Every structure is written in C-alpha cells, then in structure tokens.
C-alpha cells in the first residue's frame, strides 16, 4: 500500500535509520507531523523483517588505538581533568594538568570551579610559551571529555601547530601517564578528603607540583626527578651516580661479588600503546 510504503521510506530516511519507532514518532509530532502510531511502525517493520536488523543498524565508529612515542621532552604532552572535593557534599573543584610523558614533568596546571574548554586555552598557551615548543613538534593527548573534544580546543591546537590525539572510549589505559599522576597526587599522605575553598586547593597543589617536579624521584625515569629529565641533566646525574657506586665498589668490593653496581637505566623513550610486534611468518 502506498501509505505503508511512505511510512517505510520515512523509517529508512538517514535521520531515522538508527532510531526506535517511539523516538521517530515523538520527533514527528514535535514537527507537527503524524503518519501512524508507534505500533503501526513496528508492524510495518516486522512485515519487512527489519525489527531485529534495525537494532543493529547503529554502528559506533572504529576508534584507532593511539600509538604515541616520545624520545625527548616536549614531543608528547598528556592532559586531563580530575575532580577535587569541595567543602560541601556534591561541590567540586576541577584540576587541569598537562604532563610531559617523557620527563613526567607537569608543564602546566590550574584549578577552577568549572570544566570548560575556555579555561584550557590560556593554560596551554602559557605552557607552550614557557617551554618554547615550536609549531609542528608537539602532540597533545587527552581523553574524549567535553573540553577535550570542543571545537574551541581543536581550533586552538590548529593555531598553535599542535597535533591532537584522543583515547578510545572507555579505555583508561590509553592515557596512563595522566592517570598515574593523579593517583600519585591523591595518595599523598597530606592530601585532604575535602578542600575548604578553592584557594586551599591551589595552595596544596602549588606545593605538591613543586615537590613532584623538583624532588620526586620517579621510578619510570630511572629514579630521576622530572626536572632533571626535562632540562637535560640525565647524563650528568647518571654519571655522578655511577661514580658514587664505583667508589662504593672500591671501598667494599666484598659487597659486590656478582657484578659491579650500576645506577638505574637512563630514560630513552616513553610510549602510549607501543605497537605489538608481529611474528615473522618466515621465522
């Protein structure tokens, strides 16, 4: 029947192809249009064997796994936002943090009472300026939260010559450096359950980030501090440590019977999702 075909064509239209009949019915009513009842829509779909298939018509895009390599500072930065509990129940402050994945240095941070892309613009611009990052060198990795995906953020990164990268949805290990850093922050013995005001939160984070960058010996970068790695002191620190261990070996050789002591290895690269080596079919 022509009337049923008209309804079927409507259900096949691109704007309605992956929607349930009830959603289509309501949308049409809001537009001042009525074709048939929800039950009739289901009946017409059933007559054409499309009810089960219709549920499978919605396809999520295939998100590519990010594979990012940093072999020196200011190649890949990761940024994220975490909540800090405020003085009252359901009150929060939002901590924005940008971290260099090679050196683990926090290159920029701020605290606000809102989560918005507008606050990120001056934070990123200041970090790029202070660290003298040239256009085309930096990749900025983030999750798929609202501020990260906002058009304002995309335009800003394009203007600054920064490549953007995003997590896959519901894949927490796509942003391991930010996640690990927030865990370090919140597991500090002095980290309070709640902050009395935003100034209290800023004061705590100011002290924490100073300690983290300058004094925290990070296991992921050869037990060096982020500042030592970020500002090119790796070779000097490693050599000085080796001299100390060599002297200890000369003074008490009986303590090192298996092999001469060596300091932790120098950091050489940092990966987000290193590629999985494929087996050689000719091996």
- DSSP assignment, residue 64? P
Report the helix count and the strand count for the chain, using DSSP H and E: 11, 7
- Given phi > 0 = left and psi -120 to 50 = alpha, else beta, which region is 199? alpha
Q: Residue 59's pLDDT is what?
A: 53
The pTM for the full model equals 0.74
82 and 62 in contact (C-beta within 8 Å)? no
User: Which strands sit side by side in the sheet containing 106-112, from one edge to the other?
Assistant: 106-112, 92-100, 76-85, 139-142, 163-166
Can you tell me the distance from the alpha carbon of 267 to that of 100, in angstroms, rounded to the nearest whole number?
13
Q: What are the residues facing 93 on neighbouring strands?
A: 84
Integer angstrom CA distances of residue 279 from 64, 68, 139, 276? 21, 22, 30, 10
Chunk the chain into consecutive blocks of 10 residues (it has 283) and report each block's average pLDDT, rounded to whole numbers: 83 79 81 83 82 52 76 95 93 95 97 87 94 94 75 84 78 78 92 95 97 94 96 96 92 89 93 75 53
| Per-residue tokens: 75 | 């190649």
212 and 127 in contact (C-beta within 8 Å)? no
């Amino acid at each position: 029947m022509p009337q049923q075909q008209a309804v079927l064509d409507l259900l096949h239209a691109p704007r309605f192809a992956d929607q349930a009949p009830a959603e289509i019915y309501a949308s049409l009513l809001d537009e001042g249009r009525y074709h048939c009842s929800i039950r009739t829509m289901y009946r017409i779909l059933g007559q054409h064997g499309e009810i089960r298939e219709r549920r499978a018509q919605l396809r999520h895009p295939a998100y590519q796994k990010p594979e990012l390599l940093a072999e020196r500072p200011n190649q890949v930065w990761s940024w994220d936002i975490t909540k800090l509990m405020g003085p009252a129940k359901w009150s929060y402050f939002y901590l924005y943090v940008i971290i260099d994945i090679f050196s683990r240095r926090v290159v920029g941070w701020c605290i606000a009472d809102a989560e918005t892309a507008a606050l990120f613009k001056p934070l990123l611009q200041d970090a790029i300026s202070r660290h003298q990052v040239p256009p085309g060198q930096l990749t900025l990795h983030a999750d798929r939260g609202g501020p990260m995906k906002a058009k304002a953020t995309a335009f800003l990164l394009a203007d600054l010559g920064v490549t953007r990268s995003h997590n896959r949805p519901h894949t927490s290990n796509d942003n391991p450096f930010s996640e690990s850093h927030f865990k370090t922050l919140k597991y500090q013995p002095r980290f309070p359950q709640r902050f009395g005001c935003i100034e209290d939160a800023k004061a705590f984070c100011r002290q924490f980030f100073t300690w983290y960058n300058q004094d925290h010996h990070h296991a992921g970068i050869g037990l060096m501090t982020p500042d030592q790695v970020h500002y090119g002191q790796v070779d000097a620190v490693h050599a000085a440590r080796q001299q100390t261990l060599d002297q200890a070996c000369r003074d008490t050789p009986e303590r090192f019977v298996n092999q001469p002591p060596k300091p932790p290895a120098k950091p050489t690269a940092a990966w987000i999702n290193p590629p999985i080596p494929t087996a050689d079919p000719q091996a």
